[in-house]
Amino acid sequence: MEQDRTMVRKRLIWFVTLTFVITWLIFGQIPLRGLTYGTGVTIYIVMAGMFVPALCNILTRLITREGFSNMMLGPNFKGHIKDYLLIFFGPTALLLLSVAVYFLIMPGMFDPQFTVLQEPAARTGVLTAQTLFLVTLLQVVIIGPIINIIPTLGEELGWRAYLLPKLRLLLSDRWALVVTGIIWGLWHAPVIAMGHNYGTDYMGYPWLGILMMVGFCVWLGIIEGYATIKMNSVFPAAMIHSTINAGAGLAILMAKNGSNPLLGPAITGLIGGLPFIVVAVILLKKAGDNQGTGTVLLP
């Protein structure tokens, strides 16, 4: 038994080390080449980094001769149709609730003119800013869970389909979910320092931004990880992740300039993410303290 746990630890070290080193080398091309984050080729550099966790799942299996069983690639629709409906629409509902909560707490930040969208709406020649927002919202509702699913699978095949199951063999489900989120958040550190999600103009840059990203990844990771364990598939996590990537900026389209990115309006902020935090706490409580099983035991 101890020998098995030693091998699990070895595989975890291989996976985390490979994932961080390869991804950070890729992300590092942005400052090394003097590129401006968020523009031009940097978008493709960051997207390439999203596939590294999946690559390192495969590399770790090859290096440690683990084989390729239990890749969690089956969608497992049988008995989970209702769960998939919840996965499809639930994250969008949480996104909208997050928007409502943020502007209820920070009403002065709401921009009824949708100033951010006025210029792109004018370019269409037919849409108002408000109509363009509704079109964007409909896109998130209808195709959000699948529009980004290829790159999000690149991440989730690493975090939820490899890292989480291995941690569950060593830790309780609760701690496995939390530690997975911490590692996932720290993995983002270089792009957070470049301005991802929070920009660079905030108190405590970049350390508070990195800390907030770790927190965000913990509470989102708990939701994604709970769905992964319950349904024994990577696809629910990839769908949730896809929806978040598609709709995380909805609140920004409705906000005035000058908001504190560490607080919101995006769900990566402390206030903007409140509904997600509440759901994560509830699921973490339900996850229980079963330890060292790696099996599907969630209600």
What are the extents of the domains in the chain?
A: 75-287
> Mean of the pLDDT values across residues 70-75?
93
> Mean of the pLDDT values across residues 83-105?
96
Helices (H), ranges, the chain:
2-27, 29-32, 42-50, 52-63, 81-105, 115-124, 129-147, 149-158, 164-168, 173-187, 189-194, 207-231, 235-247, 274-287
Count of CA atoms in the C-beta half-sphere (13 A) of 120 = 12
**pLDDT class of 225 with cuts at 50, 70, 90:** very high
% of the chain beyond a pLDDT of 70: 95
pLDDT at 297: 47
pLDDT at 184: 98
pLDDT at 239: 97
pLDDT at 1: 64
Is there a contact between 218 and 182 (Cβ–Cβ < 8 Å)?
A: yes
290 token code pair: 């079963």
At position 126, the amino acid (one-letter code) is V
> Mean of the pLDDT values across residues 121-150?
90
pTM of the entire predicted model: 0.93
Is there a contact between 61 and 166 (Cβ–Cβ < 8 Å)?
A: no
